[in-house]
A and B are shown apart, each in its own frame.
Chain A
Amino acid sequence: MSGFERQRLKQNYDVLREWVREYQVSVGALFVLPVFTIILLLLLYPMFNTFWLSVQPTTGIGFTLENYQTMLSADWFGQVFWNSALWVVVGVSLQVGVGFGLALLLNTPFPRQKLVRGLYLVPWITPTVVVGLIFKWMYDPQFGIINWALRWSGLLDSSIAWLSNPDLALYALIIAGLWKRFPFVMIMLLAGLQDVDERLQNAAAIDGVPYFARLRHVTLPQLMPVLKIVVLLSIIWCFNQFAIIFIATGGGPIGATETFPVKVYKLGFQQLEFGLSTALSVVMLGIMILVMIAYIRVLRRRGVKL
């Protein structure tokens, strides 16, 4: 590089530095800006396009709320809403309960502790589609290991068609979802538990506070920063869960396992009702935003900051 070029580069650098100083621009923000812009575009364009498709008439270009009217008056909407609510509420409760219980267990010292912790992560790293297939096979009335074990142990005389029974299918799939998701909750809470102040635990123990009272009043408050994020992410993931259900039952029988994502897929890619499909996607997004707002408000009322 010649001396002239070096001088010009320095001048440009000085101008930029002066501009950054004058307008109090964060240099870090400048570095992040290009990536942030690309991500924003990649997020905003599909979102806008989805909304745009949802308000398009069947033919031509225009604006109509027909898809929303059809969707809200459809006989399946109530069932899909109820299935989704059950799937999320029961699913997340079980995931957090089981994850928390196992985190407490794995936080106590025992031989081969690290190996056991690692093994518990296997479901988490198993692809969701594979989980769907595994459980479909496990629940199979003819070849499935669950029915075989129940028959072998004498608990059942004949197989139960877990995924073909409209009263059982959703709960059977909630167990599959639990198997897939509990390791995430467990590992996050385990990390949180390792940050819990032992002096407080010991002080409470010396004062004769029973185990569950210590858990409630000493451990849980210190876990809240982790727990609130874990619950938030679990709700989002659970609500958007598609592959396990679709692979295992396709939403059946008689719509018993049809949740929002499954219905969106079926409307869009099987029934070619793109307008309805995108309208349902927008409603899904709306429901999720409302749930998040409610969740954050409840936490704030209880003095927990997110």
Chain B
Amino acid sequence: MSSGNRQRTNSQSRLQSSRRRAFIKSVGVGGVAALAGCAGSNNESEGESDGGSGTETAGATTGGSDSVTLELIWFNGQATEENLSAYDDAIAAFEESTGHTVDVTKTGQVGQIVNQVQTGVQAGDPVSIAAIPAGACQTLANKEIIEPLDSYIDDADTFSRSDIIRGKLDISTRDDTTYAVPIMSGHWGSLFYNANMLEQAGYDPMNPDFETWPEFISVAEDVKEAVGVQPVGFSGADHIHTTVQWSGFFHTTGRKSWLNEDQTDTFLDKEAGISCAEFTQSAVEKDLLPSGTANMNANGLRELFISEELFAYQVGGFENAILKEQSDIDFGITWNPRAPDGENSGFSGGIFYTLPRGSENQDEAFALIEHLMQLKWLNQYAQLPPVRPDGLQSFFEGTTDGIGRDVSNIFIEEVSNSGFPTIHVNQSRMWEAQRREIQEIILGQKTAEEAMTSLADRVRELL
């Protein structure tokens, strides 16, 4: 057999072997879901994981003799055609400059990515790079599913720690070790309001002057009286929106986390937590929330807003394009109402690059991450605000709301100054407990103080 034939045969054999492993992995994952009675997809879950769905695999070519094949799982939820095309271009540029081959699997379901990473590591066949959500960083680091990246990050040529928005690297840092590179920010923390309703209530729609929670509640009461709708949209469903939205309000108190710095205590039953919960309670007591709020997430709020049954709700910058596309409402965007004596802020999670534990060709894989973190590529393919401040400027540049005002500074400030509720391995349980307590407040079964005391107790149990 000639060396060329042998090389092709080996290459085919590796490909078949890789496909076999991929098949076994997918059968395993599918089996778990089927056993759990969960076979079949579910669209609501995608909402929790930043939306979008479907997978596709980019084709791969055989590289040169020193080349390697890298497998990358990329999150494409909320991505536009331009974003996806830019990602393909970035990958092609890397392949061309290095001779390596990159197999990209794109999926809109972050839960599926995390599951695939974990199953791959446990089966001894991890992918080279995976883009995981912020909420999974601590869990996967704790389970030793992802590799520490400090040495790579410190030696990186295309970016440094100081190039990344404050606080982002903290999300993926555990015991002073960084496990993931932030890419883009999932952001919640801007108030979308119906300008006509505000005008009907006697306010200037172009210059909304409600800045603090009490001011916002007061304006909402006036809107209710003038327009006759339940004006305030709070997510209250057992859904991730309820955590991120409430946390968006919480961070305006100046606390960037529910937990203290050394993670030994929580602020939830202190001034910050109780006052934020009282904001929710006051909306309930003044009958400002639409009926059914305890089963409503931001998608439901959007439906109400588009039907002109709602005055205002807090959500992220991505809502701007959706509202413009789906409605012709005159809507304004303003700062997230903040705590009295607080600051402009919001929630921000995001998507992170990781190297699954035990994956092959890690040097080459990180070289690909470095390549993709270059501003010229990041600015094009990031469907959410990029984590680099200079990218943030360009991402939001010229963004206008539904009444034509430039609101880019609102988004930029709130993303830059955002917080993340819990950087802890038990964060998912803490978030679930928070949703339950918020529902108790919305249903009138607990006062703000009772709910926050109960939540703080639960969080302390989990610390």
Q: Which A residues contact B (CB, under 8 angstroms)? A: 42, 45-47, 49-50, 53, 56, 58-61, 128-129, 140-143, 158-159, 161, 163-166, 169, 239-243, 246-255, 260-261, 264-266, 268-274, 277-278, 280-281, 284-285
Contact (Cβ within 8 A) B144 A60: yes
Contact (Cβ within 8 A) A46 B35: yes
B8-59 contacts to A, CB under 8 A, are: 27-28, 30-38, 40, 42-45, 48
Contact (Cβ within 8 A) A59 B144: yes
Contacts of B439 in A (CB 8 A): 252-254
Given contacts A47-B35, A253-B439, A254-B436, contact A243 B291 (CB under 8 A): no
Whether a CB of chain A sits under 8 angstroms from the CB of B238 is yes
Q: Which B residues contact A (CB, under 8 angstroms)? A: 27-28, 30-38, 40, 42-45, 48, 111-112, 114-115, 118, 122, 135-136, 139-140, 142-144, 236-240, 290-296, 303-304, 307, 309, 428-429, 432, 435-436, 439-440, 443, 445
User: How far apart are B334's CB and chain A's nearest CB, in angstroms?
Assistant: 25
User: How far apart are A59's CB and chain B's nearest CB, in angstroms?
Assistant: 5
- 12 other A-B residue contacts (CB within 8 Å) besides A49-B32, A129-B40, A142-B309: A59-B142, A61-B122, A140-B292, A142-B292, A239-B37, A241-B37, A243-B42, A247-B44, A250-B237, A252-B239, A253-B294, A253-B439
User: How far apart are A176's CB and chain B's nearest CB, in angstroms?
Assistant: 14
Contact (Cβ within 8 A) A254 B42: no
**Residue among B236, B238, B239, B303 with the highest chain A CB neighbour number at 10 A:** B238
Contact (Cβ within 8 A) B295 A163: yes
Contact (Cβ within 8 A) A161 B37: no
User: How far apart are B278's CB and chain A's nearest CB, in angstroms?
Assistant: 20
User: How far apart are A44's CB and chain B's nearest CB, in angstroms?
Assistant: 9
* Nearest CB in chain A to that of B436: its residue: A254
Given contacts A45-B27, A46-B31, contact A143 B295 (CB under 8 A): no
In whole angstroms, how far apart are the Cα atoms of A141 and B99 in the complex? 59
In whole angstroms, how far apart are the Cα atoms of A248 and B295 in the complex? 8
Would you list 7 pairs from A and B whose C-beta atoms are within 8 A, ordered by A residue? A46-B28, A46-B32, A141-B291, A246-B45, A253-B237, A264-B38, A265-B38
Contact (Cβ within 8 A) A252 B37: no
User: How far apart are A125's CB and chain B's nearest CB, in angstroms?
Assistant: 16
User: How far apart are B133's CB and chain A's nearest CB, in angstroms?
Assistant: 9
User: How far apart are A278's CB and chain B's nearest CB, in angstroms?
Assistant: 6
User: How far apart are A41's CB and chain B's nearest CB, in angstroms?
Assistant: 9
